[in-house]
């Protein structure tokens, strides 16, 4: 076997398979974690019958999906109906080839200089499966759920992508490894791009159709939206794609704004070079740091689901088009002005101070004492 074949095919494939298995274990475990945490936050039990505190529920659920009767509506468009659950799943799996999980080269499946661009291109194709699933079921409620979800995903793709532009302007690369290393030797992008991080975080919730943005399901219809007519494993594929996409977005959030697998500022701390010097244990430590950061945001998804009420659809669209997109464009303009005004460095400090002032002013507006209105008796 030639060295080139080992370097460009065998090793990347082996790394992808290992990462794929780990990701699917995390996705299965998150189902149990979410249900237990929701029960805890909402003062109820959650799954507690199968195994210790319901821990074997992650095995019982796949068995249930496999054994359930697979019902296909007689009037459904069969080809499109079967393609619906598969189309969101494939890009969600492929993206894990492009995400670095730790210090290179061991924990990087494939390093591409336009990796972030490929990730955005792949993840944006998931909307096709949702549209097909809603339309091909030949159910009006599924169609309405699919249209709502498609409009939501297309709308929030715009601020989702625009929020990343400021990071790219600072780091000067689409390569996620380079972006992580830039943050390790400067400052986490969370601080100079606090507004972009907020927009990205809100948009990734909307992209995954998660609470409070789970508009495909509407109370007035009493159905689940685009996957109403799906059962058994086809329904499981939709859920698997949703949780995989959640994990992808959390990985992007950590890599773009929170320093990835590093714990350092201005080159002091655990940089990529420091972890590489520690050998395989340094690589494992970096992967653990990355995993902890990612799981924090996965748990925030659960917290949001247990806490916030659902938006109305007009509120959802207004938030995206009237607030998120103008705010993202303003962030790009301000970032560009600061970078041009301070080409020798120091722009991160100015942007961090500006972001802190904006956050402080926003908190003041939210929590300032409201004047009491006294109703006069007529």
Listed in sequence order, the residues at least 6 apart from 168 whose beta carbon sits closer than 8 Å to its beta carbon are 116, 174
Confidence (pLDDT) at 76: 86
- The answer to whether residues 348 and 186 touch, using CB atoms and an 8 Å cutoff, is yes
pLDDT, one tens digit per residue, over 147-176 is 888 888 888 999 999 999 999 999 988 999
Residue 119: is its pLDDT beyond 70?
Answer: yes
As a whole number, mean pLDDT of residues 122-132 equals: 86
The radius of gyration of the chain's CA atoms, rounded to the nearest angstrom, is 22
CB 195 within 8 A of CB 333: no
pLDDT band at 360 (very low <50, low <70, confident <90, very high): confident
Strands 263-265 and 268-270: what pairing? Answer: antiparallel
Asked whether residue 378 carries a pLDDT value surpassing 60, the answer given is: no
Instruction: Give the length of the chain.
Output: 378
Q: What percent of the chain has pLDDT over 90?
A: 20
- Per-residue pLDDT, averaged over 237-251, amounts to 88
Question: pLDDT tens across 332-346, in order?
Answer: 999 999 888 877 767
Structure tokens at 121: 């291109």
Give yes or no for residue 197 having a pLDDT over 90. Answer: yes
Higher per-residue confidence, 9 vs 40: 40
Q: What is the pLDDT of residues 214-237, one digit of tens each?
A: 877 766 666 777 888 888 888 888
Tell me the average pLDDT across 290-299.
Answer: 93
pTM here is 0.89
The residue with greater pLDDT, 374 or 282, is 282
Asked if 87 contacts 126 with a C-beta cutoff of 8 angstroms, the reply is: yes
Distance CA 181, CA 171 (A): 9
Specify the pLDDT at position 108.
83
Question: Can you give the pLDDT at residue 221?
Answer: 62
Mean pLDDT across the chain: 86
Per-residue pLDDT of 104-118, as tens digits, reads 887 888 788 888 998
- Confidence category of residue 316, pLDDT binned at 50, 70, 90: confident
pLDDT of residue 256: 94
| Closest C-alpha to 238, from 251, 259, 224, 256 | 224
């Amino acid at each position: 076997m030639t060295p080139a074949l080992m370097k460009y095919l065998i090793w990347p494939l082996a790394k992808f398979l290992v990462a794929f298995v780990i990701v699917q274990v995390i996705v299965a475990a998150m189902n149990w974690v979410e249900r237990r945490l929701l029960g805890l936050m909402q003062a109820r039990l959650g799954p507690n019958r199968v195994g210790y505190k319901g821990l074997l529920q992650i095995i019982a659920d796949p068995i249930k999906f496999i054994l359930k009767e697979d019902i296909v509506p007689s009037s459904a468009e069969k080809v499109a109906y079967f393609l619906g659950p598969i189309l969101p799943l494939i890009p969600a799996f492929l993206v894990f080839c492009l995400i670095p999980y730790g210090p290179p080269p061991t924990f990087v499946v494939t390093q591409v200089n336009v990796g972030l661009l490929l990730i955005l291109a792949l993840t944006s194709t998931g909307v096709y499966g949702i549209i097909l699933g809603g339309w091909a079921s030949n159910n009006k409620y599924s169609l309405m759920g699919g249209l709502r979800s498609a409009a939501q995903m297309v709308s929030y793709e715009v601020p989702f992508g625009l929020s990343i532009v400021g990071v790219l302007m600072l780091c000067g690369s689409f390569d996620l490894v380079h972006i992580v290393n830039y943050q390790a030797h400067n400052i986490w992008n969370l601080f100079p791009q606090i507004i972009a991080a907020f927009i990205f975080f809100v948009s990734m919730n909307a992209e995954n159709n998660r609470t409070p943005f789970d508009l495909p399901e509407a109370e007035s219809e009493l159905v689940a939206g685009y996957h109403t007519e799906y059962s058994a494993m086809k329904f499981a594929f939709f859920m698997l794609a949703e949780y995989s996409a959640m994990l992808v977005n959390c990985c992007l959030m950590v890599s773009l704004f929170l320093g990835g697998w590093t714990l350092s500022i201005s080159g002091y701390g655990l940089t990529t070079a420091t972890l590489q010097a520690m050998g395989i244990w340094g690589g494992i430590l970096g992967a653990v740091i990355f995993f902890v950061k990612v799981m924090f945001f996965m748990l925030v998804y659960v917290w949001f689901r247990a806490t916030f009420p659902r938006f109305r659809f007009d509120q959802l669209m207004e938030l995206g088009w009237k607030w998120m997109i103008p705010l993202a464009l303003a962030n790009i303009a301000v970032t560009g002005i600061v970078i041009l005004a301070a080409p020798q460095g120091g722009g991160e400090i100015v942007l961090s101070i500006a972001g802190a002032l904006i956050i402080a002013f926003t908190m003041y507006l939210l929590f300032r004492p409201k004047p009491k209105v006294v109703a006069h008796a007529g």
